[in-house]
Chains A and B, each alone.
Chain A
Amino acid sequence: MVEQPDQAPVVARNPERSLAWEFRHLVPMVAVAVVAVVVWDLIVRWGVWGILFPGPTDVGHALVVFWNSTRLVRAIAATLRRLAVGFLMSLVLGALLAFLMVRFATFGKGIQPYILGLQTFPSIAWVPLALIWFGLSETTLLFVTIIGSVFGVSIAFADALRTVPPLYLRAARNMGSDGMDLILRVTVPAALPHLISAAKVGWSFAWRSLIGAELIFATVGLGFLLESASSVPDIAGVMGVMIVILVIGIVVDQLLFTKTQEWANRRRGLVPHR
């Protein structure tokens, strides 16, 4: 037998630099934000739209006012709570539906076109019906969040499950795994990178649906805050809340999905390009 070399030692990083090092990939992102704000400020100073187009300082000030009155914090908390509950329920329901579609191929074939259709159906168009069913309640907001994302989630989950190489399933069945054991031990981990992408698709659906529904009616939440700032009209406030919505989108995407996806890929040696 040929001698095998030892595993390559992990290269030790300079500990003092390591924190900044961890975030080095954020540098281009931050740079783009800075440039965008500067350009925005210059356009405002140029003064084309006057009062209709407030600058970064006005918007910052409006956000501080919202923050000090605790309206912003409460809005963020309410919206994120709805999002978490709605998104999780849509993941569970979507996974169930995807499983049925993959497990029972004929059922899958029959239902897929409808689900695709429902996926493109504007989630806001569910609001009138939801209002009749559930009234001006939290349930209506959750319903719209779930219904707006569950179809996208189930299609993406089903696609992810179909990517599992049959060879893995054969090898696992050969070693005695079947049924639920096979699904949990092989199908899910084998599809994990795709499942994470699928969840990411679902979250963006859920996020859009929820903010949309909150705009139509809500007594607390980012959509509501946006709507009430608009009716004042507090233009700087409107733009401030829009920026908050954007930032939350970026943060969730980066922290929840991009990170977990990189982790899942790195574990199996598929290192993505940064």
Chain B
Amino acid sequence: MKGAALKLVMLGKRFKGKSGETEALRDVNLQIREGEFVTIVGPSGCGKSTLLSLVAGLEDATTGWVEMDGKRVHGPGADRIVVFQDAALFPWLDVTGNVEFGLRVARVPRRDRKERVARHLATVQLEKFAHARVHELSGGMKQRVALARALVLRPRVLLMDEPFAALDVQIREEMQSVVQDLWQRSGATTLFVTHDVREAAVLGDRIVVLSHRPGMVSQILENHAPRPRTLKDPAVEEVIRRSNEILKAEVQWSNNQTKLLL
């Protein structure tokens, strides 16, 4: 693919632990267009979080590398921001303090900072909670703060690791439309990990199904359903059905492996 904004090349990761080595990922090749929304699904423990950590530069790859605009990336950078499953907000800061964290690190001048924070709190509809403390927020609100904290840095790449897994169904669907909206406005290239195939199908331009561990790309499904999407769109339903089939086979395989071991 030409003009890929983000390129994963033969990416692999082995962890050395006390009980020997764990191979989390093997030879993952993926090319992602500028502004594309790619969702990643796969069995539990197949290396989805590891994949995002490698792209974010929070872990070093054992093999292969990550490229942005044709250049290899090394280490973490504010151009690739992760939204973690449990938000990872800083409890010693209020909502504003959390959202402006990265801007302070980058020494953005105060006036500019205040303006950008206010604008991003407004886009996630949390203006009224600018000075609330983290423990006063609900799960959905925390994730919206985490989204604001990420987007305020105008990252080229947004990496989301099961950001809504801990939320109940209603809030999750609401957050899915928030994310679609923010993604369309920000134009950030997005990698979104989820264990919910339906979520993957609603959000993704492409759905990458990873195999059981060590995670390899098992299949990539295109999703051309027009946006904004809902779960009831026939095109989305079809993608869900096909993703489920592939994923079931992968999960089946790892279940059988477990049985064999027992």
The chain A residues found within 8 Å of chain B, CB to CB, are 1-2, 4, 6-7, 167-168, 170-178, 181, 185-186, 189-190, 192, 264, 267-269
Contact = CB atoms under 8 A, between A and B. Distances in A.
The 7 closest A-B pairs by CB, nearest first: A269-B135, A175-B102, A268-B91, A176-B78, A171-B88, A189-B92, A177-B105
B93 to A, nearest CB: 8
Given A176-B77, A177-B105, A269 B136 contact: yes
B258 to A, nearest CB: 28
Chain A interface SS verdict (over half): helix
A176 B102 contact: yes
Contacts of A175: 78, 81, 101-102, 105, 149, 153
Interface stretch (B20-28, B125-133, B202-210): B125-133
B116 to A, nearest CB: 14
A1 B127 CA distance: 14
B76 interface: yes
B88 A167 contact: yes
B15 interface: no
Interface residues of B, number: 35
A190 B92 CA distance: 7
A82 B133 CA distance: 39
A4 B105 contact: no
B56 A174 contact: yes
18 contacts: A1-B125, A1-B174, A7-B128, A168-B90, A170-B82, A170-B84, A173-B58, A174-B56, A174-B78, A175-B81, A176-B102, A177-B101, A178-B76, A185-B101, A185-B105, A264-B92, A268-B92, A268-B135
Nearest to A193: B92
**Most chain B CB within a 10 A radius of its CB, from A168, A176, A269:** A176
A189 B129 contact: no
